[in-house]
Chains A and B, each alone.
Chain A
Amino acid sequence: MRRIPANEQVRVSVEVNGRVVTGQAESRTLLSDFLRHELGLTGTHVGCEHGVCGACTIRIDGDIARSCLKLAVQVEGASIETIEGLAPAPDSLSVLQQAFVEHHGLQCGFCTPGILISLDTLLRNEPNADEMRIREVLSGHLCRCTGYTPIVKAALAARDRLKELD
């Protein structure tokens, strides 16, 4: 394993939303800070920095991960997907995003990016996920505005719509 001295800036190259980008990080720089403040991807939010709230959830090589619990230097060479990469085009929304809009699946929207990443991953991997399974995955995220009910509705609606489209 490469040893990086404390306080030394190193280059980190990573594929983010299909594009290879490079930035500077210290060995201790959190991945969430790197994404937000070095790469300018402020859609990934930081709510607790101890891995409970889920706002900073992203996908790393296809699996969901808390970006606040990873160091930037750990993702060298990896492929990352963030909330900025979910919509098919700048002027349109994914089925899941659209369902969130239609069912009031968000209020302040701060926890939403992490939730969308987790549910997008779930519906990709388990297109038939039932309400209990959706609630289970959603329980990795804290939302203080909605009471979760509208989020569950949105996820169920997105699941059904995706199956229709399939």
Chain B
Amino acid sequence: MNSDTLNSDSPRIEDGPLVTGRGRFMDDLPVSVRTAQMAVFRSSVAHARIARLNVDEARLLPGVLAVITSREVMAHTAPLAVGIRVPVECWPVAVDRVRYVGEPVAVVVAESRYIAEDAVDLIEVDYEPYEPVMSIDHALKADAAILHDKLGSNLCSDRSFCYGEPDAAFEQSDHTVSVDVLYPRNSCTPIETYGIVADYDAHTNTYEALTNFQGPFSIHTVVARALKVAGTQLRLKTPPDSGGSFGVKQAQFPYVVLACVAARVAGVPVKWIEDRVEHLTASVSATSRQTTLRAAVSSEGRVLALDWSQVEDVGAFIRAPEPATLYRMMGNMCGAYDIQNLRIRNRIVMTNRTPTGLNRGFGGPQVYYALERLMQRIAVELKLDPVDVIRTNLIRSEQFPYRTASGGLYDSGDYQLSVDEALRQGGFGELVTRRNAARREGKRYGIGTTACVEPSVSNMGYITAVLTPEERAKAGPKNGAISTATVSVDPSGSVAVHVASVPQGQGHRTVLANVVGDELGLDAAEITVVTELDTTRDGWSIASGNYSSRFAAAVCGAASIAADRLRLRLTEVAASQLNVRVDEVRLIKGAFSCADDATRAISFKRVASTGHWAPGTITGDGPPPLRETVFWTPPELAAPDADDRVNSSLCHGFIFDFCGVEVDVDTGQVTIDKYVTMHDCGRVLHQGMVDGQITGGFAHAVGAAIYEELAYAQDGSFVAGTFADYPVPTSMEIPDPVILHTCTPSPFTPLGAKGVGEGNTMSTPVCLANAVADALDVDDVQLPLSPTNILKMMNVAEPETSTPAASPGAFASRPIHGGGSVTVNATPLKIWLMLLDPQTLREIVPGCHSVDRVSGTDFVAHVRFGVGPVSGDYKVEIGLFDLDEPHSASLVGNATGALGNGSGEGRIELKPVDKTQTEIVWEYGAHAGGRVASVGSRLLNGATRIVMNRFFEALGRQAQDEGSPSGAEPGSDNEPETGLIGRALDRLLKRGDS
């Protein structure tokens, strides 16, 4: 293989269509004219029994073809299978009970997406709330509500592992250093959301689904089993282009089941394109993990043993591929360090949050956040240099291949060299000088360092480490990582490649064209590469798909083997045609020629087409050389052994990062001054792609470290449902990292390449955290490094962002509160009567369809309200009390709707200004939950204020048929911290009643 050609930076063959608007993404593709659209009705509460679900009105809406609830889903499916045996049933829709905000409760199939969403608004549900379990600590409490009754607790797995002699090491060590950290929830949020077109053939009982699913295709089996069909009766296809995934699109498989059932029930193909609020709320998340990590350390900083205690929050259901996040790093729990004594306790809990799954880094960010915080703490506590502590513990180059305590087999590396080169080329010395200068100026400047081993090409058997050796023996061995590639020649002698890799932007076609072209002596431009997958037609296996950074190491390797085999067979044909021995034939630049006489040559195309046109002329055994399909799996990926040792990944790259950050003590803002990232990912197949993976992974990591969190309120509401509330960093926040490389090729992969796609998501968050710890001189650091968390770390109260409340009144303690006043040209009595008149209220409450008086002081209203991407109908019940006609009244209200719920109370006073004018003074406090809360405070607060003002303006206009409101200064509504559409509505409505 010609290494110069491979380490190329050729332009991507993918790009032409993508920069001209001719990509072929999921929602761009043609569908059958019979295709209907699906919309999902989701839970607005975190934890509740479904007391009543009424879909009758939705079914009757013109244009609706079907409404599907758990009844239909259970009739046609089985629960989604998972890797551990626990009494937890996971269906693609809620059955009797909802367990997280956003959980599907029903789906509507209609002629258009707009009608389907209209019908979703007509679905009514009554919930009997249960206590929401929103944190790992809470889930583990003895008296916590239990999500899955049959399980008896929220703990679904508890396994302990011991390697070497950790107890002895801790006894003999000079020091024990420990960290206690919580890794928060975040997600890589591809800009293209999930998408599916599903169809069902009743005559053959066969499902077909086109979806931008990314693999692993072990999930195909999960979906087929759920649909109760043989694997061949589920034809899963992927579109040519996919708009990013980063693991996330793995988790659309429950929706594939749902769309398949919807197609079956509705009798038409069904299409679903997820929207962004749905995606952020309910697609998937990285796990949150609580870790206590202790180290036995010598006075020189040598780590003699590690003791891990990890508690993983997998959300409301343990769902495939979990508990993989917790076990993916099993072979490399000591990172880049030579530590042979190791103890691990792994627990898994369920909480009322969205189920978790693949997300770039997958287990790495959680592990390295603890491990590398620990290394920094060792340096601080033992008064050592952090870089020296790393260096002292690194595995030495002569130790490779290196067997870790827990069974990992590190393929290659020269960690010391990589660190030295990073420090030298990256200018570490200058950075220290810079920090010292900044500190002299009184700035809070810190330096962080991190060393990581980046695992890639996952062993499909590592997850079985969650089982005991006995359970594993019973279940049968699972291991390996089958990669599939086909290289073929057509009758014109041109070459095509197909792989089961399912890229989402990583440039697989370009790299494969280079790899195969290099093998066959052809230009990359002459190779056609197809990467979309059709499980009925193409070669694939359970490890197919795009995850665990397996492309360069495994898929390209398989393709190179296939090309090599084809080349050998074609060389035999050429030798026969040239009438020379095989070893006398050379393949260079599109022609086979004689080694000793280059003028005796036959074109590649002519030789390659021989198998089609004149197979009878080909001597030797076997079929003519037309197509080679390779299924490659590395022998190093064995099943976990009886001592729970497992080589969880085939390749282990090395990363050493350092950075300088400055923390603004007034605002809590963290600014990255410099970031250097050194990578040894083995042989680089394409420099542009590798660097693109690094800058992209780095940006994801900066987002996770400083900005993003899939945050929930105490009541279980999800509060990060838009890109305004889940702040993905932009070009203004992401600096350019300095990227450096060393290279120790992997001896275990055909091309010497290792994965590189995930490393910075593992190394960067903790590197930044270490720098912040250095800057602030604090022991504990909480991600994300947002201003709020930074100020907490500094023990500074967050500055009040809201202006002092004009009327904090009795409601100031509510998440949303405010008040205001307006002067109206009418008497208090007139206003009083208007506010008690359903007809008047219907006219002046924004978005109101109806108001009915249930009793003298109780009203029910139906109101439509929308903020940003979330709008819907709400039923609002209002009760009045403390009536002092016509001076004042108090009210309480509850709003419920498909998109959320709210409750609130308020008080209104009517103060005569003079004979004709009245000042209306109001104040309120409220709280919102459900999907509407996901819109977050920025949009909701504004919307609340606007609606309130509109209501009172309308009231003023109405009150004075004969004039205009005198002083309609829109009230002094304070800035509530947490907005809520529902609240807003209640408020409005409550006001309305009084």
Q: Which of A108, A111, A152 is within 8 Å of B241, CB to CB?
A: A108
- Given known pairs A50-B724, A110-B192, the reply for A146 and B692 (CB within 8 Å) is yes
Most chain B beta-carbon neighbours within 10 Å: one of A83, A104, A144: A144
Taking a contact as CB atoms under 8 Å apart, the answer to whether A44 and B21 are in contact is: yes
- 8 A Cβ contacts from A130-151 to B: 135-136, 138-151
Specify which chain A residues have a CB less than 8 angstroms from the CB of B797 in the assembled complex: none
Chain B residues 1-60 with CB under 8 Å of chain A are 11-12, 14-23, 25, 27-28
Judging by beta carbons under 8 Å apart, are B244 and A107 in contact? yes
A82 near B: Cβ within 8 Å? Answer: yes
Q: Which of B78-86, B308-316, B499-507 contacts A (4 or more CB under 8 A)?
A: B499-507
Closest to B939 in A: A50
- Stretch from B145-153, B167-175, B726-734 contacting the other chain: B726-734
A86 within 8 A of B: yes
A35-43, A70-78, A121-129 - interface stretch? A35-43
A144/B692 in contact, CB under 8 A: no
1/0 per residue, CB under 8 A from B, across A96-112: the answer is: 01001110101111111
Q: A100-B15, A106-B15 are in contact. Are A144 and B191 (CB under 8 A)?
A: yes
Q: A49-B869, A107-B692 are in contact. List 13 more A-B contacts (CB 8 A).
A: A28-B114, A42-B21, A42-B27, A48-B869, A50-B722, A53-B191, A108-B244, A109-B15, A110-B191, A144-B699, A146-B692, A146-B696, A146-B699
Bound Cα distance A49, B275 (Å): 8
Nearest CB to that of B700 among chain A residues? A144
Is A93 an interface position by the 8 A CB rule? yes
Q: Report if A109-B722 is in contact (Cβ < 8 Å); known contacts: A53-B191, A146-B696.
A: no
| A contact patch SS | loop
- Is B188 close to A, CB under 8 A? yes
Closest Cβ of chain B to A17, distance in Å, is 10
Q: Which residues of B contact A23 (CB under 8 A)?
A: none
| Residues of chain A lying within 8 A (CB to CB) of residue B18 | 106, 109, 112
Q: Which single member of B19, B695, B730 contacts A106 (CB below 8 Å)?
A: B19
Q: Give every chain A residue within 8 A of B868 (Cβ-Cβ).
A: 50
Interface residues on A, range: 35 or more
A55 contacts B by Cβ under 8 Å = yes
Q: Is the CB of B12 within 8 A of A108?
A: no
A44 to chain B, nearest CB (A): 7
Q: Are B242 and A139 in contact (CB under 8 A)?
A: no
Cβ–Cβ < 8 Å partners of A31 in chain B: none
- Smallest Cβ distance from A40 to chain B, in angstroms? 9
Find out whether the CB atom of A104 lies under 8 angstroms from the CB atom of B724: no
- A residues in contact with B246, CB < 8 Å: 144
Q: Which residues on B sit within 8 Å (CB–CB) of A148? A: 695, 699, 730-731, 734
From A41, A107, A111, give the contact of B696 (CB < 8 A): A107
> Hey, what's the 0/1 contact readout for B685-704 against A, CB within 8 Å counting as 1?
00011011011111110000
Closest chain-A Cβ to B397's Cβ sits at a distance in Å of 30
Taking the nearest CB of chain A, how far is it from the CB of B522, in angstroms?
A: 22
Cross-chain contact of A143 among B21, B191, B736 (Cβ < 8 A): B191
A-B contact count (CB 8 A): 177
Select from chain A the residue with minimum beta-carbon distance to B725. A52
Chain A residues with CB below 8 A from B505, complex form: 106-110, 145
Query: Does B493 have its Cβ within 8 Å of any Cβ on chain A?
Result: no
Chain B positions 154 through 196: 1 when the CB is less than 8 Å from some CB of chain A, otherwise 0: 0000000000000000000000000000000000111111000
What are 6 of the A-B contact pairs (CB < 8 Å)?
Answer: A41-B21, A45-B243, A110-B25, A110-B192, A112-B19, A142-B728
In the complex the two chains form, what is the Cα distance from A47 to B273 in whole Å? 11
Whether A64 sits at the interface, judged by CB under 8 Å, is no
The reply to whether the CB of B817 lies closer than 8 angstroms to some CB of chain A is no
Closest B residue to A144 by beta carbon equals B244
Q: Is the CB–CB distance between A147 and B27 below 8 Å?
A: no
B130 at the interface (CB under 8 A from A): no
Encode contact with A along B263-283: 1 for CB under 8 Å, 0 otherwise: 000000000000111000000
Q: Does A46 contact B (CB under 8 A)?
A: yes
Contact between A100 and B700 (Cβ–Cβ < 8 Å)?
no
* CB neighbours of B631 from chain A (8 A): none
Determine whether B402 belongs to the interface, using a CB cutoff of 8 Å to chain A. Answer: no
Candidates B11, B504, B691, B722; contact of A108 at CB < 8 Å: B504
In the complex the two chains form, what is the Cα distance from A41 to B25 in whole Å? Answer: 13
A116 at the interface (CB under 8 A from B): yes
B723 contacts chain A at the CB level, 8 A cutoff: yes
Count, chain B residues at interface, CB 8 A: 57
Residues of A within 8 A of B688 (CB): 104
Residue from B21, B22, B276 whose CB has the most chain A CB atoms within 10 Å: B21
Cα separation A52 to B726 with both chains bound (whole Å): 11
Q: Chain B, 237-256, contact with A by CB distance < 8 Å: what is the 0/1 string?
A: 00001111010000000000
**Smallest Cβ-Cβ distance to B15: which chain A residue:** A101
CB-CB under 8 A from A102, the residues of chain B are: 11
Instruction: Tell me the smallest distance from the CB of B123 to a CB of chain A, in Å.
Output: 20
User: Within the complex, what minimum Cβ distance (angstroms) separates A31 from chain B?
Assistant: 14
Report which residue of A110, A147, A150 has the largest number of chain B beta carbons within 10 angstroms of its beta carbon.
Answer: A147
Residues of chain A within 8 A of B243, CB atoms compared: 45, 47, 108-111
Residues in B lying within 8 Å of A, measured CB to CB: 11-12, 14-23, 25, 27-28, 114, 188-193, 241-244, 246, 275-277, 504-507, 688-689, 691-692, 694-700, 722-724, 728, 730-732, 734, 736-737, 868-869
Given A43-B20, A108-B241, A148-B699: A142 in contact with B25 (beta carbons within 8 A): no
Contact A48 B276 (CB under 8 A): yes
Contact A149–B244 (Cβ < 8 Å): no
A146 pairs with B723, CB closer than 8 A: no
Residues of B within 8 A of A97 (CB): 19-20
Residues of B within 8 A of A160 (CB): none
Compute how far the CA of A82 lies from the CA of B19 in the bound complex, rounded to whole angstroms. Answer: 12
A45→B192 contact, CB < 8 A: yes
Decide if B188 touches A144 in the complex (CB within 8 Å): yes
Measured between beta carbons, the chain A residues less than 8 angstroms from B869 are 48-50
Tell me if A87 is interfacial: C-beta within 8 Å of chain B: yes
Instruction: Provide the bound-state CA to CA distance between A109 and B16, in Å.
Output: 10
> Provided the pairs A49-B869, A93-B19, A150-B692 are in contact, do residues A139 and B730 lie with their beta carbons within 8 angstroms?
yes
Separation of A55 and B28 alpha carbons in the complex (Å): 14
Give Cα A164–Cα B80 distance, bound, in whole angstroms: 60
Q: At the interface, yes or no: A15 with Cβ under 8 Å from chain B?
A: no
A53, A107, A116: the one within 8 Å of B507 (CB): A107
Contacts of B698 in A (CB 8 A): 147
Question: Closest approach, in angstroms, between the C-beta of B518 and any C-beta of chain A?
Answer: 20
Contact partners of A141 in chain B: CB under 8 A: 730-731
Q: Which 6 A-B pairs have the closest CB atoms?
A: A43-B21, A108-B505, A110-B243, A109-B18, A147-B695, A147-B699
Nearest A residue (CB) for B724 = A52
A32 to B34, CA, bound (A): 23
Distance of A88 Cα from B193 Cα, bound (Å): 31
CB distance from B46 to the nearest CB of A (A): 23
- List chain B residues, Cβ under 8 A from A146: 692, 695-696, 699
> How far apart are the CA atoms of A48 and B274 in the complex, in Å?
10
Contacting pair B695 A149 (CB below 8 A):
yes
**Taking the nearest CB of chain B, how far is it from the CB of A133, in angstroms?**
11
Chain B residues near A36: list those with CB within 8 A.
27-28
What are the residues of chain B within 8 A of A110 when measuring CB–CB? 23, 25, 190-192, 241, 243-244, 505
Residues of A within 8 A of B507 (CB): 107
- The chain B residue sitting closest to A100, CB to CB, is B19
Q: Which residues of A contact B276 (CB under 8 A)?
A: 47-50, 53
- Name the CB-closest residue of B to A113: B21
A84 an interface residue at 8 Å Cβ cutoff? Answer: yes
A43–B188 contact, CB under 8 A? no
How near does chain A come to B935, taking the closest CB pair, in angstroms? 9
Q: In whole angstroms, what is the CA distance A154 to B129 when docked? A: 53
Residues in chain B near residue A55, CB distance under 8 A? 191
Question: Is the pair A142, B12 in contact by a Cβ cutoff of 8 Å?
Answer: no
For B28, the chain A residues whose CB sits under 8 A away are 36, 42
Contact B695 A108 (CB under 8 A): no
Residues of A within 8 A of B20 (CB): 43, 83-84, 86-87, 93, 97
Chain A residues positioned under 8 Å from B728 (CB to CB): 142, 144
CA distance A86 to B19 in the complex (A): 9
